[in-house]
Amino acid sequence: MRFIAYERNGTRGLAVADQAGRHWGLDDGGTHGRLESALASGRDGLKDLAAALLKGEPIDPEAVTFLPPLSSPSRRAHQLGLKPLAIISTRQWFGKIHSTF
C-alpha cells in the first residue's frame, strides 16, 4: 500500500494508490483520523484505511500539493522503516545515499 497525504484547494486529504498506480482518496473529514491512527491499529488498521480510501474519489497527483504522510514522525515510524521526508527528498535530487544514512 502506498499512502499519500495531500492538500487541494486548501483542504487536506489522504489517498492510496491502487495496483494500477491510480490514486483514490478522501478529504480529512472522510478518513476518521490520520495515517497515525491506522498505524497504531496495525495491519488491520492500514487495510481498513486503504479500503475506505479506495472507495473515495480519484486524486490527480498533478493537481495536489504533497504533504508528509505523518504529521510528526515518531520513533515508532522510523522503526517501521519509514524514512524522514528529508532523506527521501535528498535521494530524489542526489540519487543513492550512502548506506549509513
pLDDT at 32: 58
d(CA 36, CA 71): 8
Segments making up each domain of the chain, as ranges: 3-68
Q: Using an 8 Å Cβ cutoff, are 3 and 36 in contact? A: no
pTM score: 0.65
Greatest CA span in the chain, whole angstroms?
A: 40
pLDDT tens, 86-95? 444 444 444 4
Q: Is the pLDDT of residue 58 over 90?
A: yes
Per-residue pLDDT tens digits for 3-47: 989 999 999 999 999 999 999 999 876 665 578 888 888 899 899
Position 49, amino acid:
L
* Three cell numbers, residue 79: 522503526
Q: What percent of the chain has pLDDT over 70?
A: 64
Rg (CA), the chain: 14
**Amino acid sitting at position 39:** L
